[in-house]
Amino acid sequence: MIDLSALWGFTLIVGLLTLTPGLDTLLILRTAALGQRRGAWGVMLGIQTGTLAWGMLSSLGVTALLTASHFAYTLLRWAGAAYLVWMAARMLWAARRPSVNGRAPHGNANPQAPDTTPDSLLRGWRQGALTNVLNPKVGAFYVAVLPQFIPTDASPLGMGILLAGVHCVLGILWSCVLIGFARVLRDWLRRDVARRWLDRIAGMAIGAFGVRLALSD
């Protein structure tokens, strides 16, 4: 039987966590702001895939190994940090110069040059999933929080999937709000100058996330 008090308590905690600006929010906003509609939905689905995976692994006790094994946690942490720094470096490199289509045939700057990054659902999903799965702090959060909301007479796996599903639903709803907000500013943010500044800001922020993850204990 589902414990409604535990369900509502977990919903409140992950709801506040979802609304807190972070790496997931930044990735969705940047992708959607560049007009990559399929890519933005892919990032959202990838993030929720990672969330559901962490919830299932925590229910099975697998992620407890990360907290028990310093080597495993450190290995995953460095892998996640390297991926974030690599992603940030690509954004900063792309921001160094105008887009390939950033100039008109007669040499006049095109004020609204399209971004050359492919708008791919699969590419967005891969980016969102890797960002989430390679972040051991998400696993540590689930290891610390999830068991507190699983009743002793309930199936750990079933209840864990249910709670992780609640987290995913809240994440999807908030992502829809972010994507809608980014679409309002899409026309302005797709201008070449705005795109380059967006990549600079996003690249530095994501790089900072990566460095912070690498240096954290």
pLDDT in tens, 186-205: 666 667 776 777 778 877 88
DSSP letter for 46, please: H
Residue 131 is assigned to a structural domain of this protein: yes
Print the domain residue range for 61.
4-104+117-215
Residue 202 is assigned to a structural domain of this protein: yes
Residue 111 is assigned to a structural domain of this protein: no
Distance CA 217, CA 39 (A): 32
Residue 195 is assigned to a structural domain of this protein: yes
Residue 141 is assigned to a structural domain of this protein: yes
Residue 14 is assigned to a structural domain of this protein: yes
> Which stretches of the chain score pLDDT less than 50?
100-115
Residue 41 is assigned to a structural domain of this protein: yes
Contact 44, 123 (CB under 8 A): no
Concatenated DSSP letters of 46-91: HHHHHHHHHHHHHHHT-THHHHH-HHHHHHHHHHHHHHHHHHHHHH
Q: What is the pLDDT of residue 101?
A: 46
Q: Which two tokens stand for residue 197?
A: 């500044």
* Number of domains comprising the chain: 1
| Contacts (Cβ under 8 Å, ≥6 apart) of 213 | 77, 80, 81, 84, 135, 137
- Of 16, 207, 27, the closest CA to residue 123 belongs to 27
Residue 110 is assigned to a structural domain of this protein: no
Distance CA 51, CA 98 (A): 36
Q: What is the pLDDT of residue 106?
A: 37
